[in-house]
Amino acid sequence: MNKLIGLGVALAATWLMAARVADVLSDTGVTMDNVRQGTLQNLTEERWFRFSSTAAMRQMARRIPEGSRAAAVRALGKVVRSYCESAAFKKEFLGWVKQKYPYDDRYSDESMAAQEQAVGQMDGMVSQQLGMMQQAYAQIDPAMLQQVIRTQLQQQEQELASLEGDERTTLATEISDVKKMLSATAGKPAEFKKQYLAYQNRKLQKQAAGNIAGEKEKIADAKVQNAEYHRQKAAFDAHSDARPLLKKRLNEFIALCNDVDFGAQTVQKGYRQEFVNPIHQRKPAEWKFLYRLGKEPVTEAKAVAQAWLTDLGKER
């Protein structure tokens, strides 16, 4: 046997089963990884009727008595249904949904509100910085400040040679402005201190205004992205519940079971068994797979699927 039906019921439909519920996995060689991978794969892929079995699984399956297959189907069906109802499955499924329907939380309403709040607080932060600067300069002797600034200018002129572009232009302008200030207030350290502090205030306010403008521009761009976020998040939310897709797969499986004619005749042709009726011969691989499994396990699998579907219909 080359494959088993996925999505829980599909797995339960196979005759790779044991009669005892507690031992159904160990007795068949099926692992919870098989269940996990097969369930998600068959739930999310268009070609959902698939499950790869190992040689060990097939060997164990052949040892199961014909009369025990229905009980085995019920046992594995419980295992898979239990997994589909677990938090682990929901996490796996949501991970798949997020990959298929991605969205960027940076543009959520909450993120936008946080950005706008941060920008709104920037004016207050600037005022606080200005106040701290005023306090710091108040403690400095005017003559000492003049001397410190002259020394600083020499260092900045040396640094200027290593700069390029906007950085060089900005620093050159600042050096020129401060030199003019020193020249205009020669012999008047108190006046220099007053003008220099006013200069630093203007400089800080200009930088802050530029930063605020830049942040507001980012917010404007983010608002455009916010509309796209809502569209993407709506798509994610619309597919985040696995139950509609699960119901679809269960209905498809039940319809497939109903379509299988277990009385169909076959004939040996070389190394292959072929159906006598051409209509049966043209049936898809999953139809022929259920036919080979036999009426007993497929009938039980259908019952498991129907019971599961009924219970899903009761949920809101």
CA–CA dist 263, 275 (Å, integer): 11
The confidence score (pLDDT) of residue 51 equals: 57
| 227 neighbors 293 (Cβ within 8 angstroms) | no
Q: What's the pTM value of the predicted model, to 2 decimals?
A: 0.63
Name which residue leads in pLDDT, 275 or 53: 275
pLDDT of residue 286: 87
pLDDT band at 280; cut points 50, 70, 90: very high
pLDDT, tens only, 133-165: 888 888 889 889 888 889 988 998 888 888 899
Mind spelling out the 3-state secondary structure of the chain?
A: CCECCCCCHHHHHCCCCCCCCCCHHHHHCCCHHHHHHHHHHHHHCCCCCCCECCHHHHHHHHCCCHHHHHHHHHHHHHHHHHHHCCHHHHHHHHHHHHHHCCCCHHHCHHHHHHHHHHHHCHHHHHHHHHHHHHHHHHCCCHHHHHHHHHHHHHHHHHHHCCCCHHHHHHHHHHHHHHHHHHHHCCCCHHHHHHHHHHHHHHHHHHHHHHHHHHHHHHHHHHHHHHHHHHHHHHHHHHHCCCHHHHHHHHHHHHHHHHHCCCCCCEEEECCEEEECCHHHHCCCHHHHHHHHHCHHHHHHHHHHHHHHHHHHHHCC
pLDDT band at 59 (very low <50, low <70, confident <90, very high): low
- Residue 56, pLDDT > 50, answer yes
Q: Model confidence at 171, in pLDDT bands (50, 70, 90)?
A: confident
* 221-242 mean pLDDT: 92
pLDDT grade, residue 43 (50/70/90)? confident
Q: What is the mean pLDDT of residues 65-72?
A: 74
Q: Give the lowest-confidence range in 6-15, 91-100, 109-118, 162-171.
A: 6-15
User: What percentage of the chain exceeds 90 in pLDDT?
Assistant: 31
Q: What would the mean pLDDT of 194-220 be, rounded to a whole number?
A: 87
Q: In this model, does residue 279 exceed pLDDT 90?
A: yes
7 confidence band (pLDDT: 50, 70, 90)? very low
- Tell me the mean pLDDT in the region 34-60: 73
d(CA 282, CA 304): 28
**pLDDT for residue 50:** 61
Name the percent of the chain lying above pLDDT 70.
Answer: 84
Can you tell me the distance from the alpha carbon of 190 to that of 239, in angstroms, rounded to the nearest whole number?
71
